[in-house]
A and B are shown apart, each in its own frame.
Chain A
Amino acid sequence: MLRPWIGSGTLRSLRVQRLSRSSLSFPKAPFSSAPNRYLQPPTSADRVPLRKQLKQEAKALRSHKKQRKETEEASRQEWELTVGVEIHAQLDTEAKLFSRAATSTSDTPNSNVALFDLAFPGSQPEFQIATLLPALRAAIALNCEIQPVSRFDRKHYFYQDQPAGYQITQYYEPFARNGYVDLFDYDGIAPEDGERVRIDIKQLQLEQDTAKSQEYPPSTQLLDFNRVSHPLIEIITMPQIHTPATAAACVRKLQAIVQSCGAVTTGMEMGGLRADVNVSVRRRGEAAGQHQYDGITGLGQRTEIKNLSSFKAVEDAIIAEKNRQIEVLESGGVIEGETRGWTIGSTETRRLRGKEGSVDYRYMPDPDIPPLIIGEDLLSSLRESLPTAPDTLLTLLVGSEFNLPIEDAKPLIELDDGARLEYYHDVVDILRSLQVDQDDKTRAGLARVASNWVLHELGGLLAKADQAWDAEIVPARSLAHLIDHLQRKLITGPTAKQVLATIFDGDRRPVPQLLEEENLLLRPLSREEYLALAESVIALNPQMVEQIRSKNQLGKLGWFVGQMMRTGEKGRVEAPKAEEILRELILG
């Protein structure tokens, strides 16, 4: 899970922080979060030597993981898990679903609220047609059948974050049905699901968000009605998922798809996307269960876990709930159809309300809102303008044209809403034109070199500075020129990194001019100069030379290379040549 672009210093502190947590449910750091947050040293005041503590904790973690894996596998052999997912995602729209008030996530609380949003007497809903566009994009991207006629219904329940006493949703006739999402091995599905698994999507519906509550225990709650009636889509999958990892991968993939098609901007980490999961188990090889959900029969009684706010929480909550159900059934108990909750870091789901306390939502067609009629003309123009799907992009990047490893291709696609990928394309295009005189083999490798610089070198600088992505910080042209110089061995690797940092900090000189003026172009050392340099470092460390010779500890050659780079004239010592000379002198 550690991103390769995190510099080694950062890496160490990150590991320290991570292992010093006693909880094993450290959430995955999302791509966009700044690693800076983890840079503070651990606050624990115990006096156990750090190195020892780290070792112990790492060991405990490993054995715990192994044990967990074994018990999970044992229970999987005996019990079949079935999971369905419901996702609520805030649509990227200017206005709310039924009023002209602006949507906002960061404005002053209660500053964007129309009378209808507060359910004032006599106020009427005004459906905002523009909210349809992102909703339809999501439906198309999820391969749904879009319904020519759909309707809005009222779902009744009392809560102070719900001003009208009901939420307007699409219960009886949703606007999209029968879609699917394909999950691949690279999406992180469980190994037993193979290379690909298809999860059907039952329906997508448009609905209103509720107000945001802030609790100040014991008795104060503040309500921000800015969020009320923010347009949401609810995505409901069929109960076709059989492993916790695949369920988490499904939520992650759904988020990536709705984001990449421009339907949704804020993901789980910002609270723009929430997931509910329903979970049931049944013993393998036994008679089919009594229950059926969404037309899938033979399942066990299911429970629902509400409001999961991270991918990690989805996976952990399902594991915990599955194990709870198995335990109940194995001790002769019965699973109750109930709603449960999950707190991050806990090991058990907790009961929120049982069947007897279940809410009867009294779904009623909304008499104030006419049916939604969607024309084929709108759909076809949306289909044409939809951006390329992430899976298609991935196939392209790992294909022969770019030849990227999947672990580089994925972040390129996912980072910065596609802006990173666009930048990467620019760099590769310029670089290829600069290297047009090179042989085919060299040119074929350029895409991979460029991805390394865009993701890891540039990414590392961004992370260190805790800065958001902006394609103008290091113009694509500058980076392409820098890589071009490096490829032609006109500068050394360390020089290239140093120049990148200079540009990152605001130096706007064209790269050739910058290299010239700063005297950074490589003036290769002569063989005599290399020999002199090598001999001087060897002379200072005769015992290490002896170890290399007698014990064949070739790893120590690298240390001598480092010494040569350090003592030699800056930017002139090339590591491969230095090593060549050292081998010659030490090993003969």
Chain B
Amino acid sequence: MSLLREAERCVANQYAHGFNAFITPLSRAGPWLDRVKEADVRKQEGKPKSAVDGRLISIKDNICTRDLPTTCASGILDKFTSPFNATVVDQLEASGAIVAGKTNLDEFGMGSNSTNSHFGPVKNPRQDSSGEDLSAGGSSGGSAASVAADQCYASLGTDTGGSVRLPAAYTGTVGFKPSYGLISRWGVVAYANSLDTVGIMGKTTANVRDIFVRRAWALSLAHLKKQGHTVHSVSLPDTKHALSTYYVLGPAEASSNLAKYDGVRYGARAEGPDGDGKPDGYLFSNTRGQGFGQEVKRRIVLGTFTLSADAIDNYFIQAQRVRRLVQQDFDAVFTAKHPLAAQGADKIAKANDVDVIICPTAPSSPPRLSDLMSNSTKKSPLDAYVTDVFTVPASLAGLPAISVPVTVSGQQDAELAGIQVIGQYGDDQLVMKVGEMLEGRNLD
């Protein structure tokens, strides 16, 4: 099939079965058509620019694009268009890829079901046995749905505490969170800077690698240790605190990062004079009150509290200590030494050490959207936070992790599960390799 056919089919799918995956879909006609045709010519001549030359890549709407709006699914950036492209977008375009539109998400990346969006919830292309709509996972739910529904070749999401892996697990796609810092965050709207990572979603690990490999070589991290192919159980004693640590640090950084949205220099402003029109009123109170959704407000308040003078020692600073312990837990069980560990702190490998850790991505299969949205069955925000329990540890430690779909035969409903592979910092290639071994396996 030609690249053009493939691309046109993707765009047709964007308009045919929405799933509300896109906030800004790709227009049916546009200069991108010519760029795909050129890529087809290069492909026929055997000289493609890259593995993604002429492919449609959808971009999560918290990654800046010059040509399409970047809303972060927030009312406060309702009509905002960034004056510049994120580095990852420039790199993709330089490789011949086409931005396939901007995908829906939880506002500023805060959520686990992609229901906290100013533009409405994302639907999972999969339905449960009774035909009920399911959660696509969050916060990169739009990216996951766009991949699952063949609306693009692959997608860029962001993963702060599991936001790429969880939706991959829910939608039966592959979601890869590289080592922290490996992919540029320039132009990625910050939620929690010390955790934010650009992640890649695709139908298969191969699709994901097409995009990823180009970055990995550039950074030439030492990788790929010999695989043992043996299974060991490992203990990560402090990791039980990871989830609460994440929900202290994430909101703290978010409360700081989101302070800039005051509607003074860009973004939406509330109608009429702000600050109740009083001379000593705040210039931004109505604007922020109207622009942000519930979950974002909740996390700003949480973060503001954990950074306040009376609470910072018990919350923010304590959480930073626990974060270090979580990282040390991983270092203790991996064969490979952390490449950024202090000089001289030589790692003595033990017999039981492992190359990768394999665990579920999500503790359960995707919840029904109707359960999430209806008031009678609506659960507390904490229930959604618990969904991140398996994904958050790797985020805190900055480790590469991938979620691949694995089919369990016999059961209709929970036939598909996301399995997560976590590796040592910089072991991104190994993680993908192991992911590929498991991907699509039909296990008895």
Taking Cβ atoms with an 8 Å cutoff, the residues of A that contact B are 115, 118-124, 154, 156, 158, 160, 163-166, 218-219, 360, 362-364, 367-368
B279 and A219: CB pair below 8 A? Answer: yes
The interface centre, meaning the residue of A121, A123, A160, A219 with most chain B CB atoms within 10 A of its CB, is A121
Given contacts A122-B70, A360-B309, contact A115 B259 (CB under 8 A): no
CA distance A463 to B77 in the complex (A): 56
**Cβ-neighbour of A166 out of B84, B193, B256, B312 (below 8 A):** B256
**Cβ-neighbour of A156 out of B188, B264, B307, B316 (below 8 A):** B307
Known: A165-B262, A367-B192. 16 other contacts (CB 8 A): A118-B265, A119-B260, A119-B265, A120-B83, A121-B80, A124-B185, A156-B256, A158-B259, A158-B284, A163-B260, A165-B260, A362-B312, A363-B307, A364-B256, A364-B316, A368-B193
CA distance A542 to B188 in the complex (A): 97
CB neighbours (8 Å) of B188 from chain A are 122
A115 and B83: CB pair below 8 A? Answer: yes
CB neighbours (8 Å) of A360 from chain B are 308-309
B 296-339 to A, binary, CB cutoff 8 A, 1 in contact else 0: 00000000100111001000100000000000000000000000
Within residues 251 to 286 of chain B, which ones have a CB less than 8 A from any CB in chain A?
Answer: 252-253, 255-256, 258-260, 262, 264-266, 279, 282-284
| CB closest chain-B residue, reference A369 | B193
CB neighbours (8 Å) of B50 from chain A are none
CB neighbours (8 Å) of A122 from chain B are 63-64, 70, 82, 84, 86, 186-190
Say yes or no: is B72 at the interface (Cβ < 8 Å to chain A). Answer: yes
**16 CB < 8 A contacts A-B:** A120-B83, A120-B265, A121-B64, A121-B82, A122-B63, A122-B190, A156-B307, A158-B282, A165-B256, A165-B258, A165-B260, A360-B309, A364-B253, A364-B316, A367-B253, A368-B193
Say yes or no: is B194 at the interface (Cβ < 8 Å to chain A). Answer: yes
Taking Cβ atoms with an 8 Å cutoff, the residues of B that contact A are 63-64, 70, 72, 77, 80, 82-84, 86, 185-190, 192-194, 252-253, 255-256, 258-260, 262, 264-266, 279, 282-284, 304, 307-309, 312, 316
**Cβ-neighbour of A158 out of B63, B192, B262, B266 (below 8 A):** B262
Q: Nearest 5 A-B pairs (CB), nearest first?
A: A165-B259, A362-B307, A367-B194, A367-B193, A119-B260
| CB closest chain-B residue, reference A157 | B259
**Cβ-neighbour of A121 out of B70, B253, B262 (below 8 A):** B70
CB neighbours (8 Å) of B255 from chain A are 362
B307 and A364: CB pair below 8 A? Answer: yes
CA distance A539 to B70 in the complex (A): 98
CA distance A163 to B257 in the complex (A): 11
CA distance A164 to B186 in the complex (A): 16
CB neighbours (8 Å) of A121 from chain B are 64, 70, 72, 77, 80, 82, 189, 260, 266
Question: Shortest beta-carbon distance, A122 to chain B, in Å?
Answer: 4
Given contacts A120-B82, A219-B279, contact A166 B259 (CB under 8 A): yes
| CB closest chain-A residue, reference B259 | A165
CB neighbours (8 Å) of B316 from chain A are 364
| CB closest chain-A residue, reference B265 | A118
| CB closest chain-A residue, reference B85 | A122
| CB closest chain-B residue, reference A161 | B264
| CB closest chain-A residue, reference B267 | A121
Question: Shortest beta-carbon distance, A581 to chain B, in Å?
Answer: 77
Question: Shortest beta-carbon distance, B283 to chain A, in Å?
Answer: 6
| CB closest chain-A residue, reference B308 | A360
CA distance A156 to B300 in the complex (A): 13
The dominant DSSP class at the B interface is loop
CB neighbours (8 Å) of A115 from chain B are 83-84
CA distance A118 to B279 in the complex (A): 24
Question: Shortest beta-carbon distance, A386 to chain B, in Å?
Answer: 34
Question: Shortest beta-carbon distance, A488 to chain B, in Å?
Answer: 69
CA distance A174 to B83 in the complex (A): 34
CA distance A158 to B259 in the complex (A): 8
| CB closest chain-B residue, reference A221 | B283
The dominant DSSP class at the A interface is loop
Question: Shortest beta-carbon distance, B134 to chain A, in Å?
Answer: 31
CA distance A120 to B190 in the complex (A): 11
CA distance A362 to B72 in the complex (A): 25
A218 and B284: CB pair below 8 A? Answer: no
Question: Shortest beta-carbon distance, B307 to chain A, in Å?
Answer: 4
CA distance A158 to B186 in the complex (A): 25
| CB closest chain-A residue, reference B72 | A121
CB neighbours (8 Å) of A123 from chain B are 186-187
CB neighbours (8 Å) of B282 from chain A are 158
CA distance A158 to B253 in the complex (A): 16
CB neighbours (8 Å) of A120 from chain B are 82-83, 265-266
CB neighbours (8 Å) of A218 from chain B are 279
| CB closest chain-A residue, reference B187 | A122
CB neighbours (8 Å) of A363 from chain B are 307, 312
| CB closest chain-A residue, reference B309 | A360
Question: Shortest beta-carbon distance, B26 to chain A, in Å?
Answer: 21
CB neighbours (8 Å) of B262 from chain A are 158, 160, 165
**Cβ-neighbour of A154 out of B72, B256, B265, B309 (below 8 A):** B256
B260 and A164: CB pair below 8 A? Answer: yes
Question: Shortest beta-carbon distance, A558 to chain B, in Å?
Answer: 65
CB neighbours (8 Å) of A219 from chain B are 279
CB neighbours (8 Å) of B193 from chain A are 367-368
CB neighbours (8 Å) of A119 from chain B are 260, 265
CA distance A95 to B192 in the complex (A): 28
CA distance A166 to B274 in the complex (A): 20
CB neighbours (8 Å) of A156 from chain B are 256, 259, 307
| CB closest chain-B residue, reference A154 | B256
CB neighbours (8 Å) of B189 from chain A are 121-122
The interface centre, meaning the residue of A156, A164, A363, A364 with most chain B CB atoms within 10 A of its CB, is A364
The interface centre, meaning the residue of A118, A165, A362, A367 with most chain B CB atoms within 10 A of its CB, is A362
CA distance A49 to B72 in the complex (A): 74
CA distance A325 to B418 in the complex (A): 68
CB neighbours (8 Å) of A118 from chain B are 265-266
Question: Shortest beta-carbon distance, B300 to chain A, in Å?
Answer: 11
CA distance A154 to B77 in the complex (A): 23
CA distance A305 to B192 in the complex (A): 36
Question: Shortest beta-carbon distance, A120 to chain B, in Å?
Answer: 7
Question: Shortest beta-carbon distance, A263 to chain B, in Å?
Answer: 30
| CB closest chain-B residue, reference A358 | B309
| CB closest chain-B residue, reference A121 | B189
A364 and B252: CB pair below 8 A? Answer: yes
CA distance A116 to B252 in the complex (A): 21
CA distance A367 to B319 in the complex (A): 14
**Cβ-neighbour of A160 out of B80, B259, B283 (below 8 A):** B283
CA distance A353 to B304 in the complex (A): 21
The interface centre, meaning the residue of A119, A122, A123, A154 with most chain B CB atoms within 10 A of its CB, is A122
CA distance A367 to B316 in the complex (A): 13
CA distance A306 to B193 in the complex (A): 33
CA distance A362 to B302 in the complex (A): 13
Question: Shortest beta-carbon distance, A227 to chain B, in Å?
Answer: 15
CA distance A165 to B253 in the complex (A): 13
CA distance A119 to B259 in the complex (A): 10
Question: Shortest beta-carbon distance, B187 to chain A, in Å?
Answer: 4
Question: Shortest beta-carbon distance, A352 to chain B, in Å?
Answer: 12
CB neighbours (8 Å) of B82 from chain A are 120-122
B186 and A124: CB pair below 8 A? Answer: yes
CB neighbours (8 Å) of A124 from chain B are 185-186
CA distance A115 to B308 in the complex (A): 29
CA distance A123 to B188 in the complex (A): 8
| CB closest chain-B residue, reference A164 | B260
CA distance A154 to B260 in the complex (A): 13
Question: Shortest beta-carbon distance, A153 to chain B, in Å?
Answer: 10
CA distance A120 to B255 in the complex (A): 16
CB neighbours (8 Å) of B304 from chain A are 362
CA distance A248 to B64 in the complex (A): 50
| CB closest chain-A residue, reference B320 | A365
CA distance A118 to B84 in the complex (A): 14
CA distance A225 to B157 in the complex (A): 33
| CB closest chain-A residue, reference B184 | A124
| CB closest chain-B residue, reference A113 | B265
CA distance A368 to B180 in the complex (A): 12
